[in-house]
Structure 1
């Protein structure tokens, strides 16, 4: 028998975090703990209103499945136990952690993945005025990869000022569905002009057919349009890459399957995250050997991360310690 513990946690952000849809000042997460009396596994998820998930909904879904969870379950059982993808993520990752502790082997070995190595993560610049983002870029100009939150009037000026103030940083952009088919061609040209390598989700999910007909010099990556394997076919012909987030796929298990299938279909891989602590980043980091772009900077944006946490040397991210997860 297992013992399930469900907790709600709030982690203040250092300042605020703004994207095209709005701002937030904290990471609001749900954690799952599974204990067999000897070993304990942990998982973390971020219920995201954009996907019609809330913290109370996720906690209620986990509580409703308590009896079946505590009877014991496999990774294959997770989608039938809890419906929201965030709840599935926390449960799946807690089980991986528990299995690793029971067997005394790291999760990457159990999952048949390459051994993770230190890797550079993107560092996100929150959406703000062009001048403020330019100033933020100057402060972050020593970081090798910057992710720019765009999607509002003035994006061309933002790009120009950021590039001027961070001339040596690689740039990727996340428009968070904030552009339109009408301004998309000009925005992609503006991105190419300053050397942006990738643009995430420029158009609203469900209204992105224009991408099939637009020539571009910049890689376009699906985020809000892409969830699990069932969404993959719809990405082909519109997107060049896919952002895999465990809170969208429903855990590490389906994320691995999605990454392998995406590679087979010729899509580049970005491994991303919601705003969360190192516990939420740790399972996703195992996908980093398959990814061209890594965006797991959630802990860097918090006032304080959990202890123990993932070690960051600037933007260089190290594999999670076993005392944290996996």
Structure 2
């Protein structure tokens, strides 16, 4: 007999997380547990207002499929019962965890992949004055990859400040949909001069059709413009890289399909996250292992993470302790 429980958990941040869309001081997550014959699987999601989600709507959506899950519904049944989004993500990841524990195996083995290993993951430099962003970058200048949050007001000064403070790190620049066409075009030479490796979602989703045929100085990654593999036909004509986030795709099952579809379409791959606990990050590591760029530093911003979670070691993300998620 199965039982399903979902709850709202709050994780305070150690410092404000500021992007073009606003400032976050806590991570509001939905935690799902599915128990069957004494074995428990867990999953976590981060409802995102940008996609019309809230903690309340996510909990309500989970409750709607409670009969399906408690009757033994599997991940495939979930794909047809719910749309992509935070609610399905938490449930899908809990089902992966439950299945791995029931079979006394690991999620890596289930998908035919090697055991997880530490990997380079971006450390985020949030929006601030160029001087403050330079100081933040200098503190992690030895990390292999930094992600620079910018807006449409003064991105050049912010990017140059970070590059000067961290001359050897690879850089991802993320305007979070705050640029327009004129700014994207004007910034091309600056991105090249600053040796930026990737420009992530500069334009609002829905305002990016003109990218078809555009030849960027550095690859452009779709984030808000891509959610599932159904989006790939349009995305492949406009972007060079896709960002897989499990909260967008609606779980690891759909996230893996999006990642594999992106590769088949000749696109580069990034794995991203919301600000979350390690319970959101552990499933995403299985997509990250396939990716060119990894941005999974959500738990690094927490004042206190879940016990046994991932940890950052100089810009390398170490997988969680055995038994945390996806292993017995």
TM-score by length of 2: 0.96
Whether contact under 8 Å (1:2, 1:36) holds in the other structure is yes
**Residues in 1 aligned to 2:319 and 2:219: alpha-carbon distance in whole angstroms:** 27
**Residues in 2 aligned to 1:259 and 1:84: alpha-carbon distance in whole angstroms:** 15
Q: How far does residue 32 in structure 1 lie from its aligned partner after superposition? A: 0.5
Whether contact under 8 Å (1:116, 1:289) holds in the other structure is yes
Q: How does 1:140-159 map to 2 (within 5 A)?
A: 140-159=140-159
Q: How far does residue 38 in structure 1 lie from its aligned partner after superposition? A: 1.8
**Residues in 1 aligned to 2:78 and 2:188: alpha-carbon distance in whole angstroms:** 40
Whether contact under 8 Å (2:146, 2:172) holds in the other structure is yes
Q: How far does residue 64 in structure 1 lie from its aligned partner after superposition? A: 2.1
> Cα deviations across residues 255-298 of structure 1 (Å, max 9, x unaligned)?
11111110010000001111101100000001122100010001
User: What corresponds to 1:319 in structure 2?
Assistant: 319
User: What corresponds to 1:171 in structure 2?
Assistant: 171
User: What corresponds to 2:23 in structure 1?
Assistant: 23
**Greater Cα shift, 247-256 or 75-84:** 75-84
**Residues in 1 aligned to 2:190 and 2:73: alpha-carbon distance in whole angstroms:** 50
Whether contact under 8 Å (1:130, 1:155) holds in the other structure is no
| Structure 1: runs of 5 or more not aligned | none
Q: How far does residue 15 in structure 1 lie from its aligned partner after superposition? A: 1.2
In the alignment, structure 1 residue 45 sits paired with structure 2 residue 57: no
> Cα deviations across residues 139-158 of structure 1 (Å, max 9, x unaligned)?
22122210001123111011
In the alignment, structure 1 residue 162 sits paired with structure 2 residue 167: no
Whether contact under 8 Å (2:45, 2:87) holds in the other structure is yes
**Greater Cα shift, 202-211 or 244-253:** 202-211
**Residues in 2 aligned to 1:311 and 1:203: alpha-carbon distance in whole angstroms:** 32
User: What corresponds to 1:93 in structure 2?
Assistant: 93
User: What corresponds to 1:54 in structure 2?
Assistant: 54
**Residues in 2 aligned to 1:321 and 1:99: alpha-carbon distance in whole angstroms:** 18
Q: CA RMSD in A?
A: 1.2
- Give the secondary-structure state (helix, strand or coil) at the position aligned to 1:33: strand
**Residues in 2 aligned to 1:151 and 1:311: alpha-carbon distance in whole angstroms:** 29
| Structure 2: runs of 5 or more not aligned | none
Q: How does 1:231-310 map to 2 (within 5 A)?
A: 231-310=231-310
- Give the secondary-structure state (helix, strand or coil) at the position aligned to 1:242: strand
User: What corresponds to 2:229 in structure 1?
Assistant: 229
- Give the secondary-structure state (helix, strand or coil) at the position aligned to 1:290: coil
**Residues in 2 aligned to 1:264 and 1:116: alpha-carbon distance in whole angstroms:** 23
Query: Cα–Cα, structure 1 residues 132 and 311, in superposed 2: closer, same or farther, change >3 Å?
Result: closer
Q: How far does residue 84 in structure 1 lie from its aligned partner after superposition? A: 5.5
TM-score by length of 1: 0.97
- Give the secondary-structure state (helix, strand or coil) at the position aligned to 2:182: coil
